[in-house]
Structure 1
Amino acid sequence: MILGIFFFSQTGIGLIGNSFLISLFIIMFLSRHRLRPIETIVTELALVNCLALLSKGVPQTMVTLGMKNFLDTTGCKITLYLHRVARCLSVTLTCLLSGFQAITISPNNSSSAHLKARAPKYIIPTSLLCWTFQLLLNVFIPIGMIDPKHTRNITEIQHHGYCSHLVPSGFRASLYAFILSFPDTVLMGFMVFASGYMVLLLYRHHKHVEQIHINCISTRVSPETRATKTILLLVSIFVSSYSLDCILTAYMSFMKSSRWLVHCSALMTSFFPTISPYVLISSDSQVPKYCYALCGRRSSNFNGNST
């Protein structure tokens, strides 16, 4: 019961935070307020986080409350497919977010300076390409699944608590694992590279500011620096939780899994979708401005209707 309450709280808190970001940016967009290019990626990331929490947090909460294997084969395929797509898109969009911010703060005399003006134009096409790629790539998930009632020697049963399915073994399992994990590995490498590049730029900027303001005190932080630190924090949280979840998943695949390992893996999977919106809300100075602008507009409309 305590574990079920914890899963329910984690899922609910994450859905509230991500829904707030999505609603805020959509309302501001419909109000013809000019949004920053990076907020398009943040909105998509919040949408993916909601999908991940609904496809993993909700079923896992029901499992901890005593409901097990309540999905049929079709429901199991759809749930695992949506969770896999959300997981991969979370990697892709976080990588896109770090890469775009690295281009944004790069010096004007660098080799990537010409991308600064073009990068905002490529955000939407790149995002659509990422969604299409992940939706097509993860078709292997439902196709490769077989009804557990049809037991074969070349397969083994993998339990998720809310459903069970047969997964291939031997060469087919290695082939599926390679196909599905290779894009994530490349994206994680690029994410770490972009984060290291941003840390280097921040260090150089800090040294430059120290030399200029050696005799004066300046505590003001530029919006670009604040946004970069926020994205670095998000990347750090994502890489840590994703790596721990991969270790647990690999251990459960090759060793005998237990109920507590399944719950720990589910907690780590839902950790980033839960915490990321609140990191963005607390660190982004534009979010309070959007709230104030929205509240001010509503109050002015209310006063106008009253008069």
Structure 2
Amino acid sequence: MSSRDLATGLVILSQTVVGVLGNFSLLYHHIFLYVTGFRLRSIDLILNNLNVANSLSILTIGVPRTMAAFGLKDFLNDIGCKLLLYFRSIGRGVCISSTCLLSIFQAITISPNNSRWAEIKMKAPNYIGFTISLCWLLYMLVNIIYPVFVTGNWRNDTIIKRKDLGYCSAKYHDRSADSLYAALLSFPDALCLGLMLWASGSMVSILYRHKQRVQHIHRTSLSPRSSPESRATQTILLLVSTFVSFYTLSSILQVCIALFDNPGLLLLQIDAVFSLCFPTVSPFVLMGRDSSLSGVSFSCRRNKNSPNSIRHM
């Protein structure tokens, strides 16, 4: 094992451990609050779904890529490779759609009551569960094509030309078919990315107009602290900005991998590092925005015996 493989393996292993701990700690936090009688807000359902998708992405990317970096390349059979790449793609897709849904929901939430979103603002929380289920179903159906492409390295198939992916292989098909499949897989991601950018622009515009309206109040206020809604929106904007940055870098690397007939192990490892960045960083972005943890994901309302008490952890 070379020192380069050892270094990248340790980086990926560190991302995997830190990311799993961060996402699971948030999930445990919300489960604990629910069990002890606190009612989570609607937006917490989206954040919990994002944590689940992050965890799935981290486990399906970090664990096998770490093993491959340490020299264990043929530890998966044909079925194992198909399932691993399938669930990895689902986790990545649900992560994108959850971030998109989070930004859209927050843009609707902070919109003025006299805007065109006023009616949707009241109904939006009722459709969050359905939308999340639809996202999972959509990516499960779209990514069903991965088992057609992926095989295990242990197969001695000399007829089909294959591309080495480190611990699995991808079969070559007709170029026109590959282009069609790539467009099919990329369309939901491109749609979510466009909606995410639109919602982020709307949030920035709403915050700017709100700041202009209440600027004279801020001058005379003894406390310069912004409102909870503004802090929550700023947190989501930071989360979206982090996602777009890492997603863009990862997409560029994946295009390079697709163009090369035999991408090197180093390129595959670098792609894994950037693919793991957002799932690893996002829970700490949420926790680090407010030292009292009273921001976007941690405000809960007691559901039993005390309907008016609000817990800020």
| TM-score, normalised with respect to structure 2 | 0.87
- The secondary structure found in structure 1 opposite 2:150 is coil
- Which residue is 1:286 aligned to? 294
Task: Name the aligned partner's letter for residue 211 of structure 1.
Answer: H
2:283 counterpart of 1:273: no
- Superposition map of 1:58-97 within 5 A: 58-97=63-102
Is the contact between residue 46 and residue 102 of structure 2 (CA under 8 Å) also seen in structure 1? yes
Deviations 1:207-240 (A, max 9, x none): 2221333344531221111111111111111111
Is the contact between residue 162 and residue 172 of structure 2 (CA under 8 Å) also seen in structure 1? yes
Q: Structure 1 residue 6: deviation in Å?
A: 1.5
Structure 2 unmatched runs, 5+: 1-5, 303-313
Is the contact between residue 28 and residue 290 of structure 1 (CA under 8 Å) also seen in structure 2? no
- The secondary structure found in structure 1 opposite 2:91 is helix
- Which residue is 1:300 aligned to? none
Aligned-residue sequence identity (percent) comes to 42
Indicate which of 238, 242, 253 corresponds to 1:237. Answer: 242
- Which residue is 2:308 aligned to? none
Change (3 A) 1:263 1:182: same
- Superposition map of 1:223-262 within 5 A: 223-255=228-260, 257-262=263-268
Change (3 A) 1:163 1:108: same
- The secondary structure found in structure 2 opposite 1:263 is helix
Q: Structure 1 residue 101: deviation in Å?
A: 0.3
Is the contact between residue 218 and residue 224 of structure 2 (CA under 8 Å) also seen in structure 1? no
Structure 1 unmatched runs, 5+: 294-307
Is the contact between residue 82 and residue 151 of structure 2 (CA under 8 Å) also seen in structure 1? no
- Which residue is 1:149 aligned to? 156
Task: Name the aligned partner's letter for residue 267 of structure 2.
Answer: L
Higher helix share: 1
Is the contact between residue 11 and residue 273 of structure 2 (CA under 8 Å) also seen in structure 1? no
- Which residue is 2:178 aligned to? 173
Indicate which of 187, 209, 225 corresponds to 1:182. Answer: 187
Change (3 A) 1:156 1:175: farther
Please give the alpha-carbon distance, in whole angstroms, between the structure 2 residues aligned to 1:214 and 1:137: 53
Is the contact between residue 69 and residue 164 of structure 1 (CA under 8 Å) also seen in structure 2? no
Please give the alpha-carbon distance, in whole angstroms, between the structure 2 residues aligned to 1:146 and 1:162: 10
- Which residue is 1:115 aligned to? 120
Deviations 1:253-280 (A, max 9, x none): 1135222211110001000000000111
- Superposition map of 1:47-66 within 5 A: 47-66=52-71
Q: CA RMSD in A?
A: 2.0
2:48 counterpart of 1:40: no
Q: Structure 1 residue 195: deviation in Å?
A: 0.4
Deviations 1:75-113 (A, max 9, x none): 100100010000010111100000000000001110001
Task: Name the aligned partner's letter for residue 134 of structure 1.
Answer: Y
| TM-score, normalised with respect to structure 1 | 0.89
